[in-house]
């Protein structure tokens, strides 16, 4: 009844809609959108026509045909086979991309480990340790990364002892040699039967996963806790080791040794790689440390106190109560830090590490022109990586949100 009356009143009260063309919301929204699109479109057309004119005036060709032309220059550091004069610019692009990914990958791992460590030290109840960690973070966060990279390169890795006085980091075994030409390390040579050891390791890992799963299930059902740590370690160490010795140790090392003026054998990383790796790791460790600290502090103090009051030990409080709640606050800034690491690895160009920017965007562009294609392609490379990484971030955020509700 009441509703019906309401409806009637409403119908009566509603003012007559006058259609005013200039005041109408929809008309205005369409107009503004057309205006924006038109302006942007005109601007892009203007740039495009200028570019076409300029290219024509300078007699420059466009297109990706240069990908199949052979490149005449050599690169110091490469992960794939390439010979100057035979390899194409496509190879150059691939070498650069792989080098970027390589240094970023190692820097991400190192900075995450170091960052966690420093972030936890920041919260130490030891005043001195906390202050030292704070000093580390502030010093490396407040100086430009480029200065740090150049300092590591020029001030440390380029002035290391010469090859004759090389530093042995493996205490005389000559497995890890550091000198002003870079880091030389022994590479493994796998024997015929080495695959059996690898197989044994895989089996051991699968077995450990199964054991853990069953132990957890049992604890959930009966409340009994089974100690599985020791058997698991034994399994993972002993099974591959026994296989390794049973098959007659099918593994040798290719050890770098001085012959004439250079090293023969093993593999090496150039000083530029080391400088970039160390600088990126430390710089980003400082930001990750801050993210870790903020994440742990974001967990309510009452949670820790409640966990302590129900009798959990300090270690379990951290691993079962604090860390699981801090994780959603730590991981997103950490992933965006990983993304920054990949982007910042482009500073390699300042010290001559052969990453995608220095090989492709600088050397190739200087040699053959094609600015539009090369700049576009390099940017597309970085965009793809950041799309992939932020895709992972979105998936993670969704999962965390689902768990919360």
Nearer to other proteins, 239 or 279 (CB): 279
Query: Is residue 9 a contact residue for other proteins (CB under 8 A)?
Result: no
Binding to other proteins by CB under 8 A, coded x per residue (else -) over 107-136, reads -----------------xxxxxx--x----
Least distance from other proteins to the Cβ atom of residue 235, Å: 31
Least distance from other proteins to the Cβ atom of residue 374, Å: 8
Nearer to other proteins, 123 or 202 (CB): 123
Stretch that binds other proteins, among 36-44, 110-118, 175-183, 396-404 (CB under 8 A): 36-44
What gap in Å lies between CA 252 and CA 247, rounded to an integer? 13
Least distance from other proteins to the Cβ atom of residue 169, Å: 20
Q: Of the candidates 20, 61, 68, 142, which one interacts with other proteins according to CB under 8 A?
A: 142
Query: Is residue 267 a contact residue for other proteins (CB under 8 A)?
Result: no
Residues 287-326 that bind other proteins (CB under 8 A): none
Q: Of the candidates 88, 325, 346, 397, which one interacts with other proteins according to CB under 8 A?
A: 346
Query: Is residue 397 a contact residue for other proteins (CB under 8 A)?
Result: no
Binding to other proteins by CB under 8 A, coded x per residue (else -) over 65-104, reads ----------------------------------------
Stretch that binds other proteins, among 43-51, 66-74, 200-208, 261-269 (CB under 8 A): 43-51
Query: Is residue 146 a contact residue for other proteins (CB under 8 A)?
Result: yes
Stretch that binds other proteins, among 171-179, 180-188, 293-301, 376-384 (CB under 8 A): 376-384
Q: Which residues bind other proteins (CB under 8 A)?
A: 29, 32-34, 36-37, 40, 47, 50-51, 53-55, 57, 124-129, 132, 138-139, 142-148, 150-151, 154-155, 158-159, 343-344, 346-347, 349-350, 357, 361-362, 365, 371-372, 375, 378-379, 382-383, 386-387
């Amino acid at each position: 009844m009441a509703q019906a009356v309401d409806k009637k009143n409403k119908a009566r009260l509603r003012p007559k809609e006058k259609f005013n063309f200039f005041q109408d919301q929809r008309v205005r929204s369409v107009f503004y959108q057309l205006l924006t699109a038109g302006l942007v479109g005109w601007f892009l057309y203007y740039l495009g026509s200028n570019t076409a004119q300029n290219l024509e005036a300078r007699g420059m060709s466009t297109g990706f045909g240069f990908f199949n032309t052979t490149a005449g220059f050599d690169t110091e550091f490469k992960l794939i086979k390439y010979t100057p004069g035979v390899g194409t610019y496509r190879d150059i692009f691939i070498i650069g991309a792989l080098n970027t990914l390589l240094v970023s990958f190692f820097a991400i791992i190192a900075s995450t480990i170091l960052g966690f460590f420093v972030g936890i030290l920041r919260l130490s109840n030891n005043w001195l340790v906390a202050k030292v960690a704070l000093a580390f973070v502030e010093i490396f966060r407040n100086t430009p990364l480029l200065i740090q990279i150049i300092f590591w390169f020029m001030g440390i890795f380029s002035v290391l002892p010469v090859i004759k006085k090389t530093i042995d980091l493996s205490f005389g075994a000559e497995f890890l040699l550091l000198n002003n030409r870079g880091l030389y390390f022994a590479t493994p040579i796998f024997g015929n039967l080495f695959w059996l050891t690898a197989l044994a390791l895989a089996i051991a890992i699968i077995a450990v996963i199964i054991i853990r799963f069953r132990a957890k299930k049992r604890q959930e059902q009966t409340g009994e806790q089974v100690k599985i740590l020791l058997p698991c370690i034994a399994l993972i160490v002993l099974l591959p080791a026994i296989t390794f010795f049973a098959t007659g140790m099918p593994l040798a090392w290719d050890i770098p040794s001085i012959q004439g003026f250079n090293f023969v054998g093993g593999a090496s990383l150039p000083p530029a790689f080391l400088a970039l790796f160390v600088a990126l790791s430390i710089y980003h460790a400082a930001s990750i440390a801050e993210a870790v600290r903020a994440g742990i502090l974001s967990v309510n103090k009452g949670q820790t106190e409640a966990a302590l009051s129900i009798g959990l030990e300090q270690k379990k409080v951290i691993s079962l109560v604090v860390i699981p709640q801090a994780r959603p606050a730590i991981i997103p800034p950490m992933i965006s830090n990983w993304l920054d690491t990949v982007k910042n690895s482009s500073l390699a160009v300042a010290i001559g590490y052969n990453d995608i920017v220095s090989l492709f965007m600088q050397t190739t562009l200087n040699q053959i022109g094609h600015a539009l294609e090369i700049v576009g392609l390099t940017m597309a490379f970085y965009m793809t990586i950041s799309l992939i990484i932020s895709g992972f971030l979105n998936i993670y955020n969704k999962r965390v949100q689902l768990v919360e509700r």
